[in-house]
Every structure is written in structure tokens, then in C-alpha cells.
Amino acid sequence: MSLLSTPSHRPPIEHPSPAMEAIESSNMLTNIEGSSFEEIMKERNRIRKEREEYNIAELKVQIVRLEDALAAETKRRVDATTQLDNVAREQIYEMEERLRNQLVEDNEKLQKRITSLEDRLQQLEERWSLDANKQMDSIAHKAQEFTKSLEKVQQEQDVERKARLRREGSLLQQVEHHAKEFEDRWNAERQDRLD
């Protein structure tokens, strides 16, 4: 319902009907019969002015009623807005409290997880250090074994090289000996043919 609408319990403004105006005019004319035209016009103007003043008074009453209704509705709206604002503030405060508590709880869980991860990281670092030391020891041991094996291989290669050189020298001497024998036989046969 609009604030400016007239409530149903307020009586409507009553305006004189044309018939009532005609009766009033005839009564007036009857009462002032024999009066001059100017007096009749003055009387009519007086009656019209009274009627207009009455209508204005009625309008003022209606305006006052509307203003009262508007003020009451405005107060009701202001009260409702204030109440709604208070409810909203309470809900926002409750929500902030829930969020704050949730953040605190989440932060505590996160701190616990961080602490647990730090402990696991420390354990992993210690285990890695032990494994690294073992690996270094193993690598050093294998390096020593590899060095010994390499020295052994080198020694075997030296022995093999010396033996090969001896064999090659022996083979070379045999080849030279056979070559000399073959050359001597060749020369002897050639000499025999020449002779």
C-alpha cells in the first residue's frame, strides 16, 4: 500500500452537489428577495468563499492525516531498517568469529603438519648422510680394488709383453737362421751350376 493512499477509515471529502447548490441559491434568493443585484452577488461570493474555505479546511485535515501516516510509516521503516542492520551486524560478527576460529584451527593443523614434515626431513637428512658415508666408503673400497686389479693387469701385460718380445726375438733368430741357410744353399747350388 502506498504511503500517500488514504486509509479506509478516513471519511472522504464531501462536496456539495449541484442540486444542493441550486437549493442554497434559491433559499438565498428567497431570503434576500427585494435586495439589489450587488447585494445578491456579494452574498453569492460570501457563500462560495465559505464553501471554498470549508473545502480547504477539509484538505488540510486530509494532508495532516497523510503526513501522520507518512511519519508513522517512515518510523516503522526506520525501525525495521535499524533492526535489520542489527541482525546483519550480529550475523556478520558470528561469521567473523567462525572464520577466525576456523583460521586458528587450520593454522594449528598446518603448524603440526609443518613440524611433522620438519621431523621427517631431519630423519631423511640423517639417513641420507649415513647412506652417503656408506656409499663413499664403498666407492673408496671399490676404487682400491680397481687400482689393485689395474696394477695386476698391468703387471700381467708387462710379463706378457716381455714373453712376446722373447718369442718374437726367438722367431726372428730362427727366421734369420733359416734365411741364411737358404741363402747359403742357394749360393752353393748356383756355384755348382756355374762350375
Predicted confidence (pLDDT) per residue in 88-123, tens digit: 999 999 999 999 999 999 999 999 999 999 999 999
Pick the range with the lowest mean pLDDT from 57-61, 76-80, 150-154: 150-154
Q: What is the predicted pLDDT for the residue at 98? A: 93
Mean local confidence (pLDDT), 7-33: 47
* pLDDT band at residue 69 under the 50/70/90 scheme: very high
- Can you say whether the dihedral through the CA atoms of 146, 150, 155, 157 is positive or negative? positive
Mean local confidence (pLDDT), 152-169 = 86
Confidence of residue 18 (pLDDT cuts 50, 70, 90): very low
pLDDT at site 35: 60
pLDDT of residue 102: 93
Instruction: Over range 57-68, report the average pLDDT.
Output: 92
The identity of residue 32, as a single letter, is I
Does the structure show a pLDDT above 50 at 6? no
Q: Read off the pLDDT band of 24 (50, 70, 90).
A: low
Name the residue with higher pLDDT: 82 or 5: 82
Q: Tell me the residue type at 57.
A: A
Least confident of 10-14, 117-121, 128-132, 158-162: 10-14
Please report which confidence band the pLDDT of residue 179 belongs to, taking 50, 70 and 90 as the band edges.
confident
